[in-house]
Structure formats: C-alpha cells, structure tokens
Structure 1
Amino acid sequence: MALRASRTYVAARSGSRRILEWTGEGLLIGVRRHGETSVIAEAMVLGKGRYLGLVRGGRSRKQAATLQPGNSVQLVWRARIEDHLGTFAVELLQARAAGLIVDRTRLYASQLLTEHLRLLPERDPHDRLLMETVRLLDSPADGMALARFELLLLEELGFGLDLSSCAVTGSSEDLTHVSPRSGRAVSREAAEPYKDRLLRLPAFLLGQGPATPQEVADAFALTGYFLDMHVWHARQIDPPPMRETLIEILTR
C-alpha cells in the first residue's frame, strides 16, 4: 500500500490557545512506554521525516495491534509549539506485524529496516528511503535489495560512496573494489597490488546482473564497514543486533 503525502501544515485553535497540527501518512518504526498508560511512538512520515509523538492510552489493548513497528498508519500530530514533542492520534492503514511474525527472515529484515530509519535526523524528509522501506516490507526478504538499501542509507546520511569511476585511473570499466579510506571505486587492474587492503565491490551494486551468496556477503561487508566508520562507531552505538543473523540467513 503506497503512502500519501502529508496534508498542508495548518494552525488550529483550542479555546484561546493556538494549536499546531498536521495530518500525514507514515510508517511506525518504534514504540516505547511512557508513564502508566501512554507510549511515545516514532514514525517516518511522508514529506516530514522522522517524528516522535505521545500517544495517550497507547498501552491499551485497543491500541496494541495498531502500534506495532512496520505498520503503515495515518497520523494527526498536534502541539502548542513547533519544537515540542506533541501528540499523535493514530489510525491503522496497513497491518504487517502478524505476517512478519510467522516469517523469521522477513521479521529480521523489518527490524533491520526500521532500525536503519532511526539513524536519520528528526524532522528531515527522506521520502526515497521511506518508500523503499515500504516496498521491501511488502516483499520477500532479499539480500541484494537490502544491501542496496544500506548503500542508499549511506547516501542519505551524507556518506555516499562514489562507485562511478576508478579513483586511480578515472575509468568506469571493470570496477571491482572500493577504497576504505575514500569510499571510491577502484578498477581491477589498479586494485591488484593493493587488493588485500581494499573492500570488494560486487557487480550487482553497479546494476550488473544477479549475485552469488558470497557477493551478497561482500556487499554487506562493504556497507557495514562504512556504516560502522561513519555512524555506529562515530555515535558510539552498536550495530542492529539482528543484522549479522539476517546476513547469515540470506547468504546460505
């Protein structure tokens, strides 16, 4: 189910108070308890980016099925001031949790995708990543597609790799490796003397045909290296715990 763009940001009034409000569609990526009865929900919203909001009564049985990461929802966000956390009113658009629970590989893929989205800055639209996440959630788990997603994630975070041409020769032909220092591609000939110090570049990341399990593993090693250098290590956080298990499953 495709998401629709958020409605125009409006200001409403409640008595004498000015209330900020918008309505949009998005993907739930996290939920945590808040107080005795409420939760703080985290969502990627089309046209608005990663938003958090308080859901009053979110721990009730009535809300439990809706407030599951991976579900598509309609959100109404309200706050008195733009910088406030605000509240969410949540309506379910598409439930995925039940289908994911019975498929371990898809469940791990869903968890990895939502963890990756949580790396994005708040309130900064990344619609390309959001729509690709929705597409992957509604498809069988695919190692090639997930590795490409991580490549896109690096790009959206500002750490994109340059795989267009060789860093040494400038050639766009026969690119087989990536420099761990510059993130630029290296051709087979130029890589030969240094290939033990370079990262492998699977051809499928360049749009060249299908991949073997080893090539999928190489792709995850490539994206994982730069995610660790620029994101996980830099922010002093651990990689998503299900990532290695998922890679093992997808590269058998």
Structure 2
Amino acid sequence: MHWTNEAVILGVKRHGEQSVIAEVMTRDRGRHLGLIRNGKSRTMLPVLQPGNLVEVSWRARLDEHLGNFTLEPLSYRAASLMEHAASLHGVQALAALLRLLPERDPHPHLFDMLNIVLDNFADASGAGELYIRFELAVLNDLGFGLDLVECAATGSRENLEYISPRSGRAVSREAGMPYHDKLFLLPEFLRSSSKEAANRQSLIEAFRMTQYFLDRYVYEPRGIEHGTARDGFIRAVLEELVE
C-alpha cells in the first residue's frame, strides 16, 4: 500500500531511540499516523514541528498497519507560529479538535480551513474568528452542526439575534426576546447578512457558545476534557484585543 498527500504536522511521539510516530492531517486521508525512522535527527527535527506543511508518502504492507512516513517540507511556518502566544496555543488547540474525528476519515475542507487559520494567526481578531468557524465546522462533521441561518421558532431568516442552547438553532429577535436570558447571543460576525469583522465582545460570546456545544455533544459524552490549549489561545487573543 502506498499513497502521497499534502499534510500538516499535528504532533509527534517518541518511538524507540531514534524514531518517532508522527500525526498529520492530510488533504485526502484525514488524520493519519505513521512511523518516521530517524525522526529525532537534526535534519528531521525542524520539519516535524506542529503547523508545518509537508508532502507525506505512506507505505505499508496492509492498509490497517501503522506504516512508514517519508516527508518533504513545503512550508516551514512553525517558526512564525512560535513567535506569538495566540498561535503557539492555537496550533495545539486545532490539533486537539482534529483528534475528535476518526483517524483516516477524510475531511478535505477541514484541511483547507486548517491551512487558512495557520496562515492568519498574526491578526488576533481574524484568528479568533477563523478559529470559531473551524470549531463550528468540526461540530458539523461530527454530526452536531448548528443552524444559524433560520429562526427555530418562525422559520424567518431576518433579524436573527440569538442561538437556542437546546436546539443549536438561531432565534429571531422577536421570538427570542421573552427568553433572552436563557439564550446565547448570535455574534454579529456569524450572521449570514453581516459584513462586520469579529471584535473582542463578539469573540467572547462566540467562544462561550461553541464551548457549550462542544461540551454538551462531544466532551461530556466521551468523558474527556477540552484541554488547556484552547484556554491559552482565547486568553492570548482577548489580551491582544483589549480596548
């Protein structure tokens, strides 16, 4: 068995004295593991940093085997990701989200989104907005997508202002006003008709909302914690956006 694909490095684990097991997100093969012989060498160390874009070739006798990776670097962006707290935590938080998906399950749109987020971590507002959209995309691929384009109560697509924590659907201003204290605010930048970029307050609302649905549908049923990388990313982004 053999294939070659573009991939983003998510992480590595030591395997024996000189080898490592690399975890990558590929365009067509999903999240995939593979053994890299001499992966701890000086040559491979800078290549295997999380966030780097590589061309990976995988070989194994049978499809279900771990297999061996050989890598060719395409973009050494890990160095720039290490320069800022938001991107340093963010690349780890993105990897944690991808680990919620089954191994070897293809999600090419998530691969494309991953590269867009990684290439835009320098701008705190933009990085925060892209990260939220990535979380929503992962929820959707796990079967828990939110409906933010139509009111759950009236079917209207106008004046959407809230999100129901029960249904994960948008609610219009008129239908939601009597229950506003029990609903999430729909962040302005997530409204289909909006052309506004995310700001500090809308990101706070969005992070709280996606955390609720991730906890409800994913983390709590699986008995796992969401980890500290996301918290570090949020803290760093919001600190950069202090008004």
TM-score (norm 1): 0.88
User: Percent identity between the aligned chains?
Assistant: 49
Contact 1:28 1:70 in 2 (8 A): yes
Is 2:147 the partner of 1:174?
Answer: no
Corresponding residue to 1:199 among 175, 184, 209: 184
Q: Which has the higher contact order (CA 8 A, sep 6+)?
A: 2
Partner of 1:60: 41
- Say how many residue pairs are matched: 233
Report how far residue 87 of structure 1 moved: 1.0
- Aligned-residue Cα RMSD (Å) equals 1.4
How far apart, in 2, do the equivalents of 1:91 and 1:168 lie?
52
Aligned counterpart in structure 1 of residue 11 of structure 2, from 21, 26, 30:
30
Indicate the SS of the match to 2:202. helix
SS of structure 1 residue aligned to 2:57: strand
Aligned equivalent of 1:218 = 205
8 Å CA contact 2:87–2:233 kept in 1: the answer is: no
Indicate which of 21, 31, 49 corresponds to 1:50.
Answer: 31
Amino acid at match of 1:100: L
Runs of 4+ in 1 over 4 A off after TM superposition: none
Residue 185 of structure 1 aligns to which amino acid in structure 2? A
Asked if 1:126 corresponds to 2:107, the answer is yes
Q: Which ranges in structure 1 are unaligned for 5 or more consecutive residues?
A: 1-19
Alignment partner for residue 186 of structure 1, among 171, 196, 213? 171
Q: Say whether 1:245 aligns with 2:232.
A: yes
Corresponding position: 1:157 with 2:142: yes
Describe the superposition over 1:184-237 as per-residue Cα deviations: whole angstroms up to 9, x where unpaired. 111111112212211221121124122331111101111111111111212222
How far residue 242 of structure 1 moved from its aligned partner, in angstroms, is: 2.1
Question: Residue 59 of structure 1 aligns to which amino acid in structure 2?
Answer: K
Equivalent-residue separation in structure 1 for 2:198 and 2:113 (angstroms): 20
Structure number with bigger Rg: 1
Closer, same or farther in 2 for the Cα pair 1:55/1:181, shift >3 Å? same
CA distance in 2 between partners of 1:235 and 1:121 (Å): 13
> What is the DSSP-based 3-state SS (H/G/I as helix, E as strand, rest coil) of the residue aligned with 2:43?
helix
Matched letter for residue 199 of structure 2: T
- Alpha-carbon deviations, 1:158-190, whole Å to 9, x = none? 110011211111111111111111111111111
User: What's 2:63 paired with?
Assistant: 82
Equivalent residue number for residue 92 of structure 1: 73
In the aligned structure 2, how far is the partner of 1:232 from the partner of 1:89?
A: 33
Provide the C-alpha distance between the structure 2 equivalents of 1:51 and 1:119, rounded to a whole number of angstroms: 13
| Deviation for aligned residue 1:151 | 1.3
Q: Distance in 2 between matches of 1:37 and 1:78?
A: 19
Q: How many angstroms does 1:249 deviate by? A: 2.7
Contact 2:5–2:57 (Cα < 8 Å) also in 1? yes
What is the SS of the residue equivalent to 1:90?
strand
CA shift for structure 1 position 239 = 1.0
Partner amino acid for 2:141? E
Q: Could you tell me how far apart the structure 2 residues matched to 1:32 and 1:154 are?
A: 27
Structure 2: unaligned runs, 5 residues or longer: none
